[in-house]
Structure 1
Amino acid sequence: MLSRIAESLFSIGRYIERSDGTARILDVHLQLLLEDPWI
């Protein structure tokens, strides 16, 4: 039972890291578009 909970928490952590990375990429892209929309 505890191993399943630990595995679930580990998976959630991985997905949070992935979504954080995606959000950072989108943020940078948005900032570039706002600076120069013709890129």
Structure 2
Amino acid sequence: MQRLYQFLNIIKICVMLVVFSLQCNTNMNSPRPSGNAGVR
């Protein structure tokens, strides 16, 4: 049971990091939408 709890905790941290990075990307691309979109 302890191992399962640690596994769920690691998954929760990974999800939080992914959500945080996505929020940072949207916040950085919001003021100028033609940043990375114009390059590709």
TM-score above 0.5:
yes
The letter of the residue matching 2:15 is S
Q: May I ask how many residue pairs the two structures share in their alignment?
A: 35
Please state if 1:12 is matched with 2:4: no
TM-score (norm. length: structure 2): 0.79
Which runs of structure 1 show a deviation greater than 6 angstroms over 4 or more consecutive aligned residues? none
Q: Between the two proteins, what is the percent identity of the paired residues? A: 6
SS at match of 2:33: coil
Please, what is the CA RMSD of the aligned residues? 0.6
TM-score (norm. length: structure 1): 0.81
Structure ranking higher in helix proportion: 1
Gaps of 5+ in 2: 36-40
